Structure 1
């Protein structure tokens, strides 16, 4: 399976030199694992020196050297991954920050990359018990819950979306897309990311968007994010019971949510109101179908004994 960098080269929107330069920058931002353990006081100065000496003498990786010295702990991986995630920017963000790719150019390519990954991953977009999520449109329409949502736009007291539009920028959309792809990768045996950290990050971003949307009077946006938060609550509360296909399903649903949120934001910019989005039958159907997918996944989780209210676990986030 191609990495994102190779995928971008195929579109001929970045030169090999620029891509290599950005990847070198990304590598430079990656802290040394041994340094992290020492900075976090997880190893003593004497242990640090012993590890360096053993690595130099026998050309061992950090884990092997620590095991040889009887120093290694299983939580070292979690600490290292968390710190790397804090200090190292994603490839997409670096490309945008350096002005090598415009956000509006990168975003659709990221979505195509996601489709490519889905086509090369048989577990992608599957619920537990092999319930298909939109791989068969006709079947999905037959099994999707009947969702009723009737927003009352007359209750809106504010129609100033400027703060929300600033928060949910194209750059932020790219950032969320990359987080979703990282969540999808949690189902891979080779993944070393911390699921709890990723879910925390995603929930925090969603919660900020929802609060700003509520203040702005964006009823459709607030409702969709609120429903999506329930899924994240299930995953956070029952993380020890989640299987690989669940992460793929969560990613698939939230990519659809992100697409609808993007459409809603663009409508706010162009017409100054969500009501125009709702007035279009095709847009309204897409919105309700996304809500239906969320509800279907919620029901699937509940059928497996996962039942929790957001308020009950708010402190977990």
Structure 2
């Protein structure tokens, strides 16, 4: 039975096989073979340049934001603590994908150990869920700060923020565990070739020669119940925020208040829009070339870690001013 498309998947992949691979027994594979971007193998070295650049920007940006927040006492507040959590999550997501991708592009190192494949899959899926939850927490922070500002400091205390962060980590870690248990226990007898740059969950599942109905039921359960609820709570929060903003007496007050959550809105769009586009491509874009689907499967995971620190660095005045002070001090 073919697995139902779900929100954490981003490509309906075709399977490539080596000679006689269909007759080879992969019941207990020790390694998988990652093809990289099928059809564009000759351009792998050139394609590594933008991907490597994205990774460098993501690393520098997501280290810089927490450093600025730690060194600037005025930034020690709930919104910035959540921003630090977001930066750490982005670092893990990008590091889970990029190093192996670049080793494929530069050194043709296509093999990945079965356990390493499962580990990579686990980190990608769990931290994707964690990041979605962090965006909900940040939306809640903005809701309290704008709609009930007098209670903001008493509602989102440091212990509460820490508990929220722990709950989000546990949610992501526990929700993804069934994926790993299922993938590990299934037999594999078709091929051990994955047409992607990383161990994408649905691509690995389709290599199994077993009844995958449990996974096909659990995947949409996670997607619609948890990721869908995250989007719902964010939408409700910003509906209330916008209502509160439009009730402000002056245009300047409305613009100033809206500016405090503008960067978060941009981050939300940068996280969910590429993912929605990838999901639609998977669902309705069966005529889309495989290499474009693989690129989408990578971009929706790689764009947010690169864009998030840029968005907050440009749109958040406190961070921007502190960053300019650092550069001005070094220039003197």
Query: TM-score, normalized by length of structure 1?
Result: 0.28
Taking structure 2 as the reference length, the TM-score comes to 0.27
Higher RCO (C-alpha under 8 Å, 6+ residues apart): 2
